[in-house]
């Protein structure tokens, strides 16, 4: 019999994938009991899956804490995926140049299931510990990249996402739906978004859309950093540079020949 949760049965392969997806930057290390509870399957099944995945390098065990974390094989696969993606290859030289000009970290994000996933990251001179890692997910409503995506999503998609509630992460997170819709109108009008301490206290960011040949927003380029540097005085220049980079990446991507 296959393990199941909420009446739905999963194969061993599905549970292995679910186990890998259980890890996150917030929960980078998990134990057998925690994984069992998260996945809704028996500890013995979790232990068997972990043992198999560890043998292939996808899971690693900390000998001091006996907790598990993602292994080096995950990094190897992610590097292969990102390095061969057209968007990654197109954006990389542009964001490297943007990083040199601004001396800040630069992110390329995509939108999936109401969240932003960061595909690329160029570290600045003073990279902040709170900034997202490649492959990490952040909520859309309280990040500059996410707000750009939401501004150009179909109304039905946005309403469905907002119907689940807007979680507060700091005292500056916008949780009122009407206020959020007004913000998205502003983002569409000006063509970029600025988020100040909405996800992390002390962190601000500015983001602009990357478009395909049909004008659809497929990704974002953003500059996050401490509010002392992503400041009111610095934002005009940073916004100009982000918009230029987004336009350049869009043009390069649109000129790619299909395989």
CATH at residue 106:
3.30.450.40
Question: What is the Cα–Cα distance from 193 to 25, expressed in whole angstroms?
Answer: 24
Q: Are strands 68-70 and 217-226 parallel, antiparallel or unpaired?
A: unpaired
State whether 41 and 125 are in the same domain: no
Q: Is residue 216 within 8 Å of 184, Cβ to Cβ?
A: no
Question: What is the Cα–Cα distance from 201 to 90, expressed in whole angstroms?
Answer: 32
Among residues 74, 98, 133, the one where a domain terminates is: 74
Q: Does some domain include residue 106? A: yes
Burial string for 28-66 (b: 16+ CB within 10 Å, else e) reads: eebbbeebbebbebeeebbeebbeebeeeebbbbeeeee
Question: What is the Cα–Cα distance from 22 to 27, expressed in whole angstroms?
Answer: 8
Q: Does some domain include residue 79? A: no
State whether 173 and 65 are in the same domain: no
For the chain, the domain total comes to 2
Q: What integer pLDDT is reported at residue 134 of this predicted model?
A: 58
- The region, left, alpha or beta by phi > 0 then psi within -120 to 50, assigned to residue 182 is alpha
Q: Is residue 106 within 8 Å of 238, Cβ to Cβ?
A: no
Digit-by-digit pLDDT tens for the chain (259 residues) are 344 445 566 778 888 888 888 887 678 889 999 999 988 889 999 999 999 888 888 888 888 888 998 887 666 566 555 544 788 888 889 999 999 999 998 999 888 878 888 877 777 665 554 455 556 778 999 999 999 999 999 999 999 999 989 999 999 999 999 999 999 999 999 999 999 999 999 999 999 999 998 999 999 999 999 999 999 999 999 999 999 999 999 999 988 765 5
State whether 89 and 67 are in the same domain: no
Q: Is residue 250 within 8 Å of 211, Cβ to Cβ?
A: yes
Q: At 10, which CATH number?
A: 1.10.10.10
Q: What integer pLDDT is reported at residue 135 of this predicted model?
A: 61
State whether 63 and 117 are in the same domain: no
Q: Does some domain include residue 115? A: yes
Task: Find the helix or strand (DSSP H, E) in which 67 lies.
Answer: none
Q: Is residue 68 within 8 Å of 31, Cβ to Cβ?
A: yes
State whether 27 and 106 are in the same domain: no
State whether 69 and 124 are in the same domain: no
CA distance between the termini of the chain: 43
Among residues 49, 74, 99, the one where a domain terminates is: 74
Which residue shows structure tokens 């595909």? 119
State whether 242 and 190 are in the same domain: yes
Q: Does some domain include residue 80? A: no
Q: Does some domain include residue 65? A: yes
Q: Does some domain include residue 259? A: no
State whether 103 and 176 are in the same domain: yes
State whether 134 and 226 are in the same domain: yes
Q: Is the pTM of this model over 0.85?
A: no
State whether 16 and 113 are in the same domain: no
Question: What is the Cα–Cα distance from 88 to 107, expressed in whole angstroms?
Answer: 11
State whether 67 and 93 are in the same domain: no
Range of the domain at 40: 4-74
Q: What integer pLDDT is reported at residue 57 of this predicted model?
A: 82
Distances (CA, A) of 37 to 19, 22, 31, 46, 75: 11, 11, 10, 10, 26
State whether 138 and 211 are in the same domain: yes
Q: Are strands 115-122 and 106-112 parallel, antiparallel or unpaired?
A: antiparallel
Q: Does some domain include residue 218? A: yes
Q: Partners of 205 in the beta sheet?
A: 195, 224
Q: What integer pLDDT is reported at residue 10 of this predicted model?
A: 72
Structure tokens at 36: 């069992």
């Amino acid at each position: 019999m296959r393990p199941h949760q909420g009446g739905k049965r999963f194969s061993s392969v599905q549970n292995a994938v679910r186990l890998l997806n259980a890890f996150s930057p917030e929960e980078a290390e998990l134990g057998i009991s925690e994984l069992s509870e998260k996945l809704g399957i028996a500890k013995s099944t979790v232990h068997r899956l972990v043992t198999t995945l560890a043998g292939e390098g996808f899971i690693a065990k900390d000998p001091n804490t006996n907790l598990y974390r993602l292994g080096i094989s995950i990094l190897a696969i992610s590097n292969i995926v990102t390095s061969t993606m057209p968007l990654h290859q197109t954006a990389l030289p542009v964001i490297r140049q943007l990083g040199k000009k601004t001396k800040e970290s630069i992110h390329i994000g995509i939108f999936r299931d109401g969240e932003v996933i960061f595909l690329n990251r160029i570290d600045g001179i003073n990279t902040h510990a709170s900034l997202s890692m490649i492959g990490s997910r952040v909520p859309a409503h309280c990040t500059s990249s996410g707000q750009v995506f939401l501004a150009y999503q179909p109304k039905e998609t946005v309403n469905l996402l907002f119907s689940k509630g807007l979680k507060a992460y700091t005292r500056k997170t916008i949780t009122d739906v009407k206020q959020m819709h007004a913000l998205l109108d502003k983002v569409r009008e000006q063509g970029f978004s600025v988020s100040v301490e909405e996800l992390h206290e002390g962190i601000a960011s500015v983001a602009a859309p990357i478009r395909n040949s049909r004008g659809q927003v497929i990704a974002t380029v953003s500059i996050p950093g401490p509010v002392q540097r992503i400041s009111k005085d610095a934002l005009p220049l940073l916004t100009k540079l982000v918009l230029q980079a987004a336009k350049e990446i869009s043009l390069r991507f649109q000129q790619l020949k299909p395989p």
